[in-house]
């Protein structure tokens, strides 16, 4: 990357889905936005209305794709859907009530919390496996193809936490659960002459938002 170029990645977690509302594990299963989720996406569209996005990417799952379309409505660019931005595959845990699984499989939940990098929840995808695809799409596509631009990336909580750890050179196994990424929240990363900087995390309130291409106050 050229030292004077600054690339900004605007990570957005999708609005509230039916699974989110009902404490159901979604993973890579489909779960549409609730009415609240739609309103949350509209609120984000207003918050980011003054930002010019040079490119927009979204997960192929409808809750992320619909959120992205609401944000991009009436403005460019058209969102590109990517499988590698899908949430972690939770295998047999998907479409199950989180609270019931905690009671029925306490040992597996403890293992997942202690060693997410190598644990396959529900027989699905380990964090290491998800990180491999997230690293590829973030570094080899978003950053490599859009140097010096503003990129909107609408996806999922697990994907955003993974991307932040990778971009900030943090230990993924130790810090994956450190970030709390709320529904329909905005997290912004800047890559430039001072390296990678986290400009904002899980923002949803316009009172705390101002973007002038340089910094967020």
Q: What is the pLDDT of residue 88?
A: 97
Average pLDDT, the chain: 92
Residues of the chain above pLDDT 70, percent: 93
pLDDT for 25 beyond 70: yes
| Confidence grade of residue 3 (pLDDT, cut at 50, 70, 90) | very low
Question: 216, 121, 213: which is closest to 176 by C-alpha?
Answer: 121
| Confidence grade of residue 217 (pLDDT, cut at 50, 70, 90) | very low
| Confidence grade of residue 4 (pLDDT, cut at 50, 70, 90) | low
The answer to whether the bond into 77 is cis (omega within 30° of 0) is yes
Which tens digits make up the pLDDT trace of 160-200? 999 999 999 999 999 999 989 999 999 999 999 889 999 99
3-state SS track over the chain: CCCCCCEEEEEEECCCEHHHHCCECCCCCCCCECHHHHHHHHHHHHHCCCCCCCEEEEECCHHHHHHHHHHHCCCCCCCEEEHHHCCCCCHHHCCCEHHHHHHHCHHHHHHHHHCCCCCCHHHCCCHHHHHHHHHHHHHHHHHHHCCCCEEEEEECHHHHHHHHHHHCCCCHHHHHHHCCCCCCCEEEEEEECCEEEEEEEEECCHHHCCECCCCEC
Question: 145, 141, 152, 143: which is closest to 191 by C-alpha?
Answer: 143
Q: What is the pTM of this model?
A: 0.93
Which tens digits make up the pLDDT trace of 72-98? 998 888 899 999 999 999 999 999 999
Domains and CATH numbers, the chain: 7-90+128-208 (3.40.50.1240)
Q: What is the pLDDT of residue 141?
A: 96
Which tens digits make up the pLDDT trace of 38-68? 999 999 999 998 899 999 999 999 999 999 9
């Amino acid at each position: 990357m050229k030292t004077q170029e600054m690339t900004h990645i605007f990570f957005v977690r999708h609005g509230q889905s039916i699974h989110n509302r009902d404490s159901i594990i979604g993973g890579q299963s489909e779960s549409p936005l609730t009415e609240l989720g739609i309103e949350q996406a509209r609120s984000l569209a207003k918050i980011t209305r003054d930002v010019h996005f040079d490119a927009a990417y979204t997960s192929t799952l409808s809750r992320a794709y619909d959120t992205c379309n609401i944000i991009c409505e009436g403005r460019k660019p058209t969102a590109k859907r990517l499988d590698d931005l899908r949430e972690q595959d939770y295998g047999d845990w998907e479409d199950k009530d989180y609270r019931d699984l905690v009671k029925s499989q306490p040992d597996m939940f403890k293992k997942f919390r202690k060693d997410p990098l190598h644990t396959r929840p529900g027989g699905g995808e380990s964090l290491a496996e998800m990180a491999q695809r997230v690293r590829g799409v973030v570094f080899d596509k978003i950053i490599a193809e859009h140097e010096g631009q503003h990129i909107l990336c609408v996806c999922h909580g697990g994907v955003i936490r993974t991307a932040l750890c990778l971009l900030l050179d943090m230990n993924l196994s130790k810090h994956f659960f450190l970030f709390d990424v709320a529904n329909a929240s905005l997290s912004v990363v800047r890559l430039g002459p001072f390296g990678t900087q986290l400009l904002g995390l899980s923002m949803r309130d316009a009172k705390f938002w101002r973007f002038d291409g340089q910094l967020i106050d």
